[in-house]
């Protein structure tokens, strides 16, 4: 709200300056106008128009369609839901909104449990990504500048292979007669294979492994820009290295931690592939429930309602994080 006013206030003086006729000849005034005004207005329009158009076409339009379907009712038809707007072809149009799907979401504890299950998996995975990713990012940031690209490349390297292949590689490692069990048995460390696949452990492992780079990269970007002289100053003033880390590095890297946590947490909540392939039958996550609603129950309105509520569930923690970040920015 205040953002809008702010932008408008900024634009006004700019226009005032450009439209003021200069004292010089008309040609030079025109040239000034052309040079200053056209590129400025156009450039700003293009720069803000691209993300706006992107948001409109790839986020808001699909979301509007999903919202629309969530307010319809199930039907045996193509597509399998009722129309919201019924028009008899002449004068009467009936708008029929069905909020039953949302009410059912609240009534049945399954959905609540699934949302909670997803949030838990996402939160625990984010925490582990942070605990593992932070030392990695710090290590890379403290390397000599010419070696950092190599380390970063190693972090990004897994993305060169499809996610599905990497998940299957983990299955090959973890399964009953997989690589890990075979090695442990042949070394005589265990005599019965460990059960690792189809467990919550496998889901956490898969999610942390997959999303770790999303944590490391923003953390690295923040840590790399930190002013080393601050640490030197802390040392000069008699601070032990661990204390300097806790009071200087850690608070200053907070934006990186927030960005990394969001990049891990948000997709992890909606994660479907990893729990489906690596999780056990008792791994209850919202992605699976959504799939069941859409494909097994053929209840597109219900599936859409689950998706809409998932967005709301996601927006709240993100807003909280954003607020936290803004406050830090203000104080810092």
Partner 1 sequence: MFRTSFKTAAAVIALALPAVSPAGAAAPEEKVLNIFNWSDYIAPDTIANFEKATGIKVNYDVFDSNEVLEAKLLAGQSGYDLVVPTASFLERQIKAGVFQTLDKTALTNYANLDPAIVARIAKHDPENARAMPYTWGTIGIGYNPDKIKERLGTDTITSWDVLFKPEISAKLKDCGIAILDSPSEVMAIALNYAGLDPNSEKKEDLDAGKAVLQGLRPNVKYFHSSQYINDLANGSVCVAVGYNGDMLQARNRAAEAKNGVPVRYSIPSEGTLMWFDVMAIPNDARHPQNAHAFLNYLLQPDVIAAVTNTVNFANANKAATALVNEAVRTDPGIYPSDAVREKLFAQKSHTVKFDRLLTRAWTELKTGR
- Residue closer to partner 1 (CB basis): 159 or 295: 295
Least distance between partner 1 and beta carbon 48 (Å): 6
- Residue closer to partner 1 (CB basis): 84 or 132: 84
Q: Which residues touch 214 (CB under 8 Å, ≥6 apart)?
A: 129, 260, 263, 264, 267
- Residue closer to partner 1 (CB basis): 4 or 332: 4
Q: Which residues bind partner 1 (CB under 8 A)?
A: 1, 3-4, 7, 48, 51-52, 55-56, 60-61, 64-65, 68, 74, 76-80, 83, 108, 110, 113, 175-177, 198, 280-284, 289, 292-299
* Cα distance between residue 247 and residue 104, in whole Å: 49
Least distance between partner 1 and beta carbon 16 (Å): 21
Least distance between partner 1 and beta carbon 80 (Å): 5
To which residue do tokens 């004292």 refer? 23
Three-state SS at 94 = strand
Least distance between partner 1 and beta carbon 165 (Å): 16
The region, left, alpha or beta by phi > 0 then psi within -120 to 50, assigned to residue 264 is alpha
Angle at CA of residue 279, ends 201 and 306, nearest 5° = 120
- Residue closer to partner 1 (CB basis): 133 or 275: 275
- Residue closer to partner 1 (CB basis): 95 or 150: 95
The region, left, alpha or beta by phi > 0 then psi within -120 to 50, assigned to residue 188 is left
Least distance between partner 1 and beta carbon 135 (Å): 32
To which residue do tokens 């996610």 refer? 163
Residue 166: what are its φ and ψ, rounded to 5°? -70, -35
- Residue closer to partner 1 (CB basis): 198 or 210: 198
Least distance between partner 1 and beta carbon 298 (Å): 7
């Amino acid at each position: 709200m205040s953002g809008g006013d702010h932008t408008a206030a900024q634009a006004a003086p700019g226009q005032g300056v450009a439209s003021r006729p200069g004292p010089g000849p008309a040609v030079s005034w025109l040239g000034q106008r052309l040079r200053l005004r056209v590129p400025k207005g156009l450039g700003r329009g293009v720069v803000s128009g691209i993300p706006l158009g992107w948001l409109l076409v790839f986020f808001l339009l699909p979301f509007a369609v999903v919202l629309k379907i969530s307010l319809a009712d199930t039907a045996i038809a193509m597509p399998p839901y009722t129309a919201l707007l019924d028009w008899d072809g002449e004068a009467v149009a009936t708008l029929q909104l069905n909020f039953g799907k949302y009410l059912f979401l609240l009534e049945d504890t399954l959905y609540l449990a699934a949302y909670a299950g997803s949030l838990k998996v996402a939160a625990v995975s984010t925490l582990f990504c942070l605990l593992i990713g932070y030392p990695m990012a710090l290590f890379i940031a403290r390397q000599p500048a010419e070696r950092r690209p190599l380390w970063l490349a190693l972090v990004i390297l897994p993305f060169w292979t499809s996610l599905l292949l990497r998940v299957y590689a983990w299955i090959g490692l973890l399964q009953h007669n997989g690589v890990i069990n075979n090695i442990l048995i042949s070394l005589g460390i265990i005599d019965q294979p460990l059960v690792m696949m189809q467990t919550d452990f496998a889901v956490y492992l898969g999610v942390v492994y997959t999303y770790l780079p999303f944590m490391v990269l923003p953390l690295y970007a923040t840590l790399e820009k930190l002013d080393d002289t601050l640490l030197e100053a802390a040392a000069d003033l008699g601070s032990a290295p661990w204390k300097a880390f806790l009071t200087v590095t850690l608070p200053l890297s907070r934006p990186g931690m927030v960005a990394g946590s969001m990049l891990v947490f948000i997709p992890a909540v909606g994660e479907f592939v990893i729990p489906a392939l690596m999780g056990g039958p008792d791994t209850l996550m919202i992605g699976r429930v959504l799939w069941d609603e859409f494909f097994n129950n053929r209840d597109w309105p219900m599936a859409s309602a689950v998706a809409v509520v998932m967005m709301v569930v996601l927006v709240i923690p993100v807003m909280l994080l954003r607020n936290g970040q803004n406050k830090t920015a203000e104080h810092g």
